[in-house]
Amino acid sequence: MSTIADNLSSVSARIGAAAQAAGREPSSVNLLAVSKTKPAQAIREAHAAGQHHFGENYLQEALAKQAELTDLDVTWHFIGPIQSNKTKAIAEHFAWVHSVDRLKIAQRLSEQRPPHLPPLNICLQVNISGEASKAGCEPQDLAALASAVAALPRLRLRGLMAIPEPSTEATEQNATFARVTALRDGLSLGLDTLSMGMSDDLEAAIAQGATWVRIGTALFGARDYSTPNAPV
């Protein structure tokens, strides 16, 4: 059985190879370790192997792990769906939020970001595959949302995040990620961030300009949602 440290080196090697193939500096691609459903101990192991950025989807679960890991220098990213009543805790306990898809949530995060902390880094999630049920701002609404969010005082708009419909076709993966990149560039806001690519499609995402890949399964193994206290 491979350890988290082994998985981390395999994923780093994949990132490095994909960056090189795309003519990019490997250091231009950041690894976000997605630790949802995994215990604090798994984060501790990844941290000991050199990983500092962790992404969580469920607020209560994330806060519990943060409380267990106060001795580590971890940068926390919130990447899950956001309900209005969760914005205060998210604004207080995270450095990045990748999943903002409406102005009301952004306004609350800005108002609730504590004054002693730097502005909260924000990615706007875009519904890139046009899935009716999917979270994310519709592409045609993105420009208006982006300019409104860019004007909020306690947020720093960094870029876009997307979760494409899963595809095993590299051609299709590339085409979808290229649309995200084009949307970001079309905003002309000087945004430096593209949060896209997961365990199964990180190569295509990096080929199309990803600056953060969000990796769960390839680092921590398959997630088990069947245990009684696993979040849903």
Ligand X SMILES: *Cc1c(COP(=O)(O)O)cnc(C)c1O
Which residues of this protein are in contact with ligand X, per CB under 6 A?
34, 36, 57, 79, 163, 198-200, 214-218
What b/e sequence results for 177-201 when a residue is b if at least 16 CB atoms lie within 10 Å of its CB, and e otherwise? bebbbebbeebebebebbbbbbbeb
- Smallest gap from Cβ 71 to ligand X, in A, equals 26
Whole-number minimum distance, CB 188 to ligand X, in Å?
26
Element (H, E) at 56: strand 53-56
The answer to whether 125 and 101 have CB atoms below 8 angstroms apart is yes
Q: Which is nearer to ligand X, 142 or 218 (CB)?
A: 218
Residue 118 burial by CB count (10 A; 0-12/13-18/19+): exposed, middle or buried? exposed
For the bound state, the minimum distance from the C-beta of residue 197 to ligand X, rounded and expressed in Å, comes to 9
By beta-carbon proximity to ligand X, the closer residue of 154 and 174 is: 174
Dihedral Cα 99, 102, 107, 109, nearest 10 deg: -20
| Closer of 71 and 224 to ligand X (Cβ) | 224
Residue closer to ligand X, measured from CB, 14 or 214? 214
Write down the least CB distance from residue 153 to ligand X, Å. 27
Q: Give the residue at shortest CB distance from ligand X.
A: 216
How many other CB atoms are there within 10 angstroms of residue 74's CB atom? 21
